[in-house]
């Protein structure tokens, strides 16, 4: 039953990722953490996010901004080991609360004008990239600081969405290297990988008829629900 529920969550996240260009881990992190726990759940989510982003790169490569991408990647790689340290030293309850907090931040970061306004130029890229690298290893959620930087630096949406796929691929590789591969049975992981690819393929078809706005509304609703449930579970774990 766990694998079936995880497969449904993965499929929905992959479809939304293909239609909107973002949101795979944001949609997935809530249910996957509830099903597999804060450590294994994020480890699986990061691996599947790598598959989702890698499958998208060939489709968007011509829109990638190499200069901005580089200035976000290298600070993230330097900060990534700190995220791995947090995962190793924090107990499960604290990790659940950390993941919930990062998920909430992911949902509101784009609305904080002071944040995006301060993230401009190369200094802003270094700060956003470092935050993204840390968050990717700790929770799989590297998008918020990158998106805030994109707004502050007036990065065109098409170019940012394309470049983000490359950044996610690099950050996910670093995260897998630091966190290790999932402990779940290999056949289960491969099944979820196949579901991810299928979701991307179906999303490519649906993208012709489904409005990105509708997909974004669904993404936000699922993400808010998932983050809230993870937060509740984290609070309950503190008193267990």
Secondary structure (DSSP) of 30-68: HHHHHHH-HHHHHHHHHHHHHHHHHHHHHHHGGG--HHH
Query: Where does residue 107 rank: exposed (0-12), middle (13-18), buried (19+ CB within 10 A)?
Result: middle
Express each pLDDT in 77-123 by its tens digit.
Answer: 999 999 899 888 888 888 888 887 877 876 776 666 666 566 778 88
pLDDT of residue 74: 94
Structural domain spans, the chain: 2-238
pLDDT band at 6 (very low <50, low <70, confident <90, very high): very high
pTM given for the model: 0.85
Mean per-residue pLDDT of the chain: 84
Query: Looking only at Cα atoms, what is the longest distance across the chain?
Result: 51
CA angle in degrees (0–180, nearest 5) for 230-232-235: 110
Select from 56, 6, 2, 24 the least CA-distant residue to 139. Answer: 24
Average pLDDT over residues 207-227: 74
User: Residues near 116 by Cβ (< 8 Å), separated by ≥ 6?
Assistant: 109, 110, 148, 149, 151, 152
Express each pLDDT in 125-158 by its tens digit.
Answer: 888 899 889 888 888 888 778 877 887 778 887 7
Average pLDDT over residues 172-199: 92
Express each pLDDT in 154-170 by its tens digit.
Answer: 888 778 888 988 999 99
Residues 41/138, Cβ–Cβ less than 8 Å = no
Select from 57, 45, 68, 74 the least CA-distant residue to 21. Answer: 57
Report whether pLDDT(11) > 80: yes
Report whether pLDDT(173) > 70: yes
Distance (Å, rounded) from C-alpha 171 to C-alpha 145? 13
Give the torsion through C-alpha atoms of 64, 66, 72, 74, to 10 deg.
130
pLDDT of residue 112: 66
Express each pLDDT in 34-62 by its tens digit.
Answer: 899 888 988 999 999 999 889 888 888 88
C-alpha distance from residue 213 to each of 17, 188, 240 (Å): 13, 33, 40
3-state secondary structure of 101: helix
Q: Which two tokens stand for residue 143?
A: 């998008």
Residues 208/111, Cβ–Cβ less than 8 Å = no
Report whether pLDDT(174) > 90: yes
The percentage of residues in the chain with a pLDDT greater than 90, rounded to a whole number, is: 28
Tokens 């939304």 belong to: 16
pLDDT of residue 110: 63
Report whether pLDDT(23) > 70: yes
């Amino acid at each position: 039953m766990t694998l079936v529920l995880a497969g449904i969550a993965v499929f929905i996240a992959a479809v939304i990722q293909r239609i909107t260009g973002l949101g795979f881990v944001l949609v997935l992190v809530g249910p996957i953490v509830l099903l597999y726990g804060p450590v294994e759940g994020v480890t699986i989510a990061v691996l599947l996010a790598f598959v989702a982003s890698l499958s998208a790169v060939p489709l968007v490569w011509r829109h990638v901004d190499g200069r901005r991408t580089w200035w976000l990647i290298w600070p993230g790689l330097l900060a990534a080991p700190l995220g791995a340290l947090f995962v190793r030293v924090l107990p499960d309850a604290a990790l659940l609360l950390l993941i919930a907090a990062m998920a909430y931040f992911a949902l509101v970061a784009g609305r904080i004008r002071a944040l995006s306004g301060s993230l401009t130029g190369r200094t802003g890229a270094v700060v956003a990239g470092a935050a993204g690298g840390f968050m990717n290893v700790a929770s799989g959620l590297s998008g918020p600081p990158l998106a805030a930087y994109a707004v502050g630096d007036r990065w065109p949406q098409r170019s940012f969405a394309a470049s983000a796929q490359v950044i996610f691929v690099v950050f996910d590789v670093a995260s897998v290297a630091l966190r290790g591969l999932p402990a779940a049975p290999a056949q289960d992981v491969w099944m979820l990988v196949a579901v991810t690819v299928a979701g991307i393929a179906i999303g490519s078809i649906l993208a012709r008829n489904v409005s990105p706005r509708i997909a974004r509304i669904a993404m936000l609703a699922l993400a808010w629900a998932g983050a809230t449930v993870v937060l509740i579970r984290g609070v309950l774990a503190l008193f267990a």
